[in-house]
Structure 1
């Protein structure tokens, strides 16, 4: 079962900067000319701070991207452009790992073990099956674990960078909810970004504008937008086809709002000048906010926990005795909860759990309340926490549109601030780092010179 692992880490890399897919893909053997022939000597293609990038490392990463697009090779840019794109991502990854190490950010073997488990579950495999699948691609499992390790380090670096700079106030949420842009709903966008370096000369700006024009001409000539993004975009998501996903209109930079507001799905914008360069946008879809109605349940709860002196079996026997008192002798559920329940959250309130959505108290309790009728008491059931008895009191439909809107607005503001904060961090990190590309064919815009 040969697999491509480009997207395996999505579940554990929430909100981190886009990373090279090449680092998550099967690594091909490099540097071999053929059976029985001598292995080609490796060489350093770039110096990044105190680290280096080897030719073999770049070859593996490029080959991995080519494997990812094996069914659509026409979407890839010329090999010379692809190699520069992949090298830029490898450089950015090394800079982040170096900075994380300087900041004392580390990941344990246990953290990697949990990440392996998460990747396996995401792909409906056991860890052993995942190992076999990775090794069948030609990559060692040790290398795969190292890639997971690096992703986790960068995730923690991202959290460290943004946590102090992302603060969302109630007034910001109120202002956003009242804004016309928020009420306009969401748009699904793809983009092509043509970067203009900081302190760019007139020649740099002219070159970027010419590249943006070439991208637009290619699209008008029939090239698929995704293929054009892969070929022309300088953004870190270029190899993903520039897909930005669904975004609320309020999350769109103000400079682009009017253009997007007047576009129809399928349309492509002209080249728009932004603070970092030129942007070409394609509107893939548009949707309005929908009313959110959920089912809520009201219930009472008794929990009997095992302790150092009470076994799980004995806890179950106590729960069974309480259940019999409730259903046979009509004892007050609330009074028994106050006297005997080990649930610190609800015991003092007679076991009252309030109104809650199905799985708010865990899937086991959620399953029970959906099966019960109003006024009915469940038989004792066991979870890892102990033995539970639940009495369902009621069910209702609740409009949570406003509540969800506030939560989404808060998240949108936080994500926007986090994205901007980390983008600024990466730009500063790259600008002050020592990076020297030693192979002229891999350099562009003068990047063969050491920076800063």
Structure 2
């Protein structure tokens, strides 16, 4: 349990330490990073590293890594504020409640555990909010920039074997500044060669990554976790396909710098099977003309007619506001529950074949559904196409985010006073 919480406490000013002499250690555009913020963040990182069982890096290295993380976070938070991205208290509480539920405890118990370990829960919530905001601003920017065409999907499917499985990898980046001269590049190359040799000689990848990596996951030991092979950058995916578990790549050069990848584990994917339901549907929409109360009266009247033997298809064609299915007598065709929405999907899953539901409400209005048939369908090909699109999008998103974060960090006014 403690290990999980420490992993969540990355870069958070939560340790309840003695009062610090609070001065400014960095100015980032219109905001500042205080010494107390840095010191408490460093203490939190130490807790996280200790929880993994890895040795701590030298103090100056850790301070530098944490300060850079805080600087990048400040820049992203400022961009989020500029574009109006906010996270409400309710959203933060929902996220925390979900984390607690995943660990089999209540939010109150989670709070007690955090405070028992010497952390401030209000700061915990604040850091969770910051993480949610920075994630949203990154993906909002990337979503606005990344497009995937059908032609790209076709080319991807023609050139790639989608069932490549998933890999668990660790990553180390030695960044090379844009426009660096040859001397700097060679110095970075020599460093990554030396680090690789240390790893081959038995050094712990997590320790080396924590001390030297410029990657976003450096303080997590470079652990990227499980990723579909086809969603990795092409330079990485081509390498891991032929690697054995435990193997480390030679240095890989990209626009960001030099990379080392370690294959921690790998697993295969399987055929995609889903339950599909053939459903008839009547909907009475709730809008400015028909209130929810009026809609309820209409749907209840139709339900009474159906119970008395009225033809479902005839009533759907005459009365349903579902303009896609109404002309077909309410026939929605074969659908997976994920295509029906959470509420309707749950209703359909609990029906027997030829059974009709009682009226129920969603945000769209009032509904009656009838289950006509059920089957298991092999949607591997459709799934492959979805996966291809997702793989292309994910690659583009990650590359776009990485470039954008590097650009806004470079554009920001940063005055380090540590």
TM range (shorter): 0.7 to 0.9
| 1:423 alignment partner in structure 2 | 402
Aligned match of 2:93: 116
Q: Deviations over 1:101-146 (max 9, x none)?
A: 3x343426xx332232232134226666665555555544543443
Matched, 1:409 2:396: no
Aligned to 1:318: 301
Provide closer, same or farther for how the CA distance between residues 188 and 242 of structure 1 changes in structure 2, counting only shifts above 3 A: same
Residue in structure 2 matched with residue 165 of structure 1 by the alignment: 145
Distance 2:165 2:46 in 1: 37
Matched, 1:377 2:360: no
Q: Which residue among 357, 368, 378 is the counterpart of 1:389?
A: 368
Match of 2:262 in 1: 282
- 1:332-351 matches, within 5 Å, as 332-341=311-320, 343-351=322-330
C-alpha contact 1:66 1:73 (8 A) present in aligned 2: no
**1:239 offset after TM fit, Å?**
1.7
Give 1:181 shift: 5.8
Q: How many Å separate the matches in 2 of 1:382 and 1:251?
A: 40
Q: TM-score, normalised by structure 2?
A: 0.84
Q: 2:65 aligns with which of 40, 64, 85?
A: 85
The question of whether the paired residues in 2 share the 8 Å contact of 1:323 and 1:389 is answered with: no
SS at match of 2:274: strand
Counterpart Cα distance in 1 of 2:292 and 2:184:
75
Matched, 1:22 2:5: no
2:29 to 49, 52, 73: 49
**Separation of aligned partners in 2, 1:6 and 1:417:** 31
Is 1:68 aligned to 2:48, yes or no?
A: yes
Q: Kindly state the Cα deviation for residue 85 of structure 1 after the two structures are TM-superposed.
A: 0.8
How large is the Cα RMSD of the aligned pairs? Answer: 3.3
* SS, match of residue 245 in structure 2: coil
Match of 1:298 in 2: 278
Of 221, 229, 240, 2:201 maps to 221
Question: Is 346-355 or 166-175 further displaced after alignment?
Answer: 346-355
- How far apart are residue 214 of structure 1 and its match? 3.9
Residue 248 of structure 1: how far off its partner (Å): 4.5
- Partners of 2:311 and 2:278 in 1: how far apart? 17
State the partner residue of 1:399.
378
Match of 1:13 in 2: none
Closer/same/farther in 2, CA of residues 90 and 299 from structure 1, 3 Å limit: same
Deviations 1:303-332 (A, max 9, x none): 457854846875675355134213xxxx21
Q: Which segment is superposed worse, 352-361 or 134-143?
A: 134-143
The aligned counterpart of 1:447 is none
Deviation of 1:291 after TM superposition, in Å, equals: 2.3
Match of 1:361 in 2: 340
Give CA deviations for 1:404-430 in whole Å, capped at 9, x if unaligned: 111111122122222222222222222
CA change 1:364–1:74 in 2 (3 A) is closer
- Structure 1 contact 3–133 (Cα < 8 Å) conserved: no
| Shift, 1:178, TM fit | 0.9
Shift of 1:366: 3.3
Deviations 1:269-320 (A, max 9, x none): 2233333222111123344553222221102123457854846875675355
SS of match in other structure, 2:339 = coil
Distance 1:181 1:85, change over 3 A: farther
Q: Would the aligned equivalents of 2:85 and 2:133 in 1 still touch at CA under 8 Å?
A: yes
8 Å contact from structure 1 (residues 177, 183) kept in 2: no
State TM-score, norm by structure 1. 0.79
CA deviation vs aligned residue, 1:161-202 (integer Å, no higher than 9, x gap) = 323421111111111111146564544322111122223344
Is the contact between residue 195 and residue 234 of structure 1 (CA under 8 Å) also seen in structure 2?
A: yes
Number of residue pairs the alignment of both structures matches: 411
CA contact (8 A) 2:3 2:48 kept: no
CA distance in 1, matches of 2:238, 2:135: 34
Which is worse superposed, 125-134 or 395-404? 125-134
CA drift at 1:221: 3.3
Q: 5+ unaligned residues in a row in structure 1: which ranges?
A: 9-19, 33-38, 440-452
Q: SS at the partner of 1:235?
A: coil
> Which secondary structure state, in structure 2, belongs to the residue aligned with residue 178 of structure 1?
helix
Secondary structure of 1:295's aligned partner: strand
Q: Deviations over 1:203-255 (max 9, x none)?
A: 43344234324432332333333333223322111122222334444444454
Cα gap change, 1:156/1:183 in structure 2, threshold over 3 Å: closer, same or farther? closer
